[in-house]
Amino acid sequence: MEEFLQQLINGLSLGAIYALIALGYTMIYGVLRFINFAHGDVFMIGTYIGFFILTSSFGQALGPGFGTAVIVFLAAMLGCGLLGVTIEFLAYRPLRTRPKLTVLITAIGVSFFLEYTGQLSFVFGADPRTFPTVVEKTMVVQSGSLVIDSYQIIIFVVAIVLMLGLRMLIMKTRIGTALRASSMNLNAASLMGINTNAVISFTFFVGSALAGAGAILYAMSYPKINPLMGILPGLKAFIAAVLGGIGNISGAAVGGFIIGSAETMTAGYISPTLRDAIVFAILIFILIVKPSGLFGQGGTEKV
């Protein structure tokens, strides 16, 4: 039972990170109806932003602590947000009216561009780097074999706060209303006087900023970072978004937690080598059984 509880806690904290990344996928899909394959790589860039701040003389002067953490989080969120907006502006905006397949291929291109340019020796280099400590890790609960450390709590709290903040942003503000209108029908929204280009840029900014926050959380608990590290968390978060029903924001959060738990449970009870395969198996299963996901609405196709 303790073992199960431990795996569940590990799963929930991992899942919280997936959920943050999944929110970006699902928001962008909601507005533009396409999968931003480069999202996982924006996440990777987020970890490097944190890395460079922490290893700079400024970051070293600060040392680990609460203030440093806040600075690193804000910088990664801002950096990733701006990167997301830039990617949309340069690569996706010229293709707005083109077939979806074209945009999908471009997104794969952007993803590869970030991954392989990052591997060049004068950018990040292909070798893994060690992410410095942001805040000291302490044990919060330690009873028998059950261990909860401060990181797991930080991850969980930060993720929940950001999700609630996102919910407020989307439900209560003017731009949030515009975002919801655009994701219902982009054309109709623009006919109603909504500046849809601004909404799309905003969506990319918020979605990518959440990935940036997820990046720092991820790098805190898995401190080996490299330019290809975004692929798997990105894919898993995408699967979480599909599981929750892509385009559905609360669905993405729930999907993230489910995927995270499924992964740690598989690693703990079956075999650690199968932890990636199980996630893909979930994807294939959900797409065959209920492609609209747990909370998604199946759209009807119009001719």
Partner 1 sequence: MSRKHRSYLYLLIGFAAIIGLSFPFEAGLNSYDMRIVINVGISMILAASLNLINGFTGQFSLGHAGFMAIGAYTASALTTMVFGTTEGTTQELLFLVVLIAGGVSAAIAGLLIGIPSLRLKGDYLAIVTLGFGEIIRVVLQNIEPLGGSLGISGIPRYTTFIWTFGILAVLIFVTENLMRSTYGRGFLATRDDEIAAESVGVNTTKYKVTAFVVGAFFAGIAGGLYGHYNSLIRPLDFGFLKSVEIVVMVILGGMGSTWGVLLAAALLTYLPEALREVELFGIKFRDFRMTIYALSLILLMIFRPQGLLGDFNAEEFIRKIRGKPKKPATTET
257 touches 213 (CB < 8 A):
no
What single DSSP character describes residue 302?
Answer: -
Instruction: Report the alpha-carbon distance of residue 267 to residue 263 in Å, rounded.
Output: 6
Q: Which is nearer to partner 1, 41 or 219 (CB)?
A: 41
Closest approach, Cβ 288 to partner 1, in A, equals 5
Closest approach, Cβ 28 to partner 1, in A, equals 11
Residue 247 DSSP SS3: coil
287 touches 296 (CB < 8 A):
no
Q: Which is nearer to partner 1, 78 or 231 (CB)?
A: 231
Q: Which is nearer to partner 1, 88 or 176 (CB)?
A: 88
**Which runs of E-coded beta strand occur in the chain?**
129-130, 139-143, 146-149, 224-225
Q: Which is nearer to partner 1, 13 or 36 (CB)?
A: 36
Q: Which is nearer to partner 1, 123 or 198 (CB)?
A: 123
Closest approach, Cβ 285 to partner 1, in A, equals 10
Instruction: Report the alpha-carbon distance of residue 237 to residue 78 in Å, rounded.
Output: 20
Closest approach, Cβ 284 to partner 1, in A, equals 6
Q: Residues with Cβ < 8 Å from 193, sequence gap 6 or more?
A: none
**Structure tokens that stand for 262 in this block:** 């499924």
Whose CA is closest to 200, among 218, 184, 178, 232?
Answer: 178
- Tell me how far the alpha carbon of residue 25 is from its chain's centroid: 7
Angle in degrees, CA 218, 264, 275, rounded to 5: 95
**Structure tokens that stand for 188 in this block:** 């109709």
**Which run of H or E residues covers position 11?**
helix 2-32
Closest approach, Cβ 20 to partner 1, in A, equals 20
Closest approach, Cβ 198 to partner 1, in A, equals 22
Q: Which is nearer to partner 1, 153 or 281 (CB)?
A: 281
Q: Which is nearer to partner 1, 177 or 271 (CB)?
A: 271
Whose CA is closest to 125, among 116, 135, 133, 138?
Answer: 116
**Sites of contact with partner 1 (CB under 8 A):** 34-35, 91, 94-95, 98, 100-106, 108-113, 115-117, 119-122, 231, 235, 238-239, 242, 271, 273-274, 276-277, 280-281, 283-284, 287-288, 291, 301, 303
**Structure tokens that stand for 265 in this block:** 């449970």
Q: Which is nearer to partner 1, 61 or 288 (CB)?
A: 288
Q: Residues with Cβ < 8 Å from 237, sequence gap 6 or more?
A: 18, 19, 20, 21, 22, 24, 25, 39, 40, 214, 256, 259
Closest approach, Cβ 73 to partner 1, in A, equals 29
Closest approach, Cβ 151 to partner 1, in A, equals 28
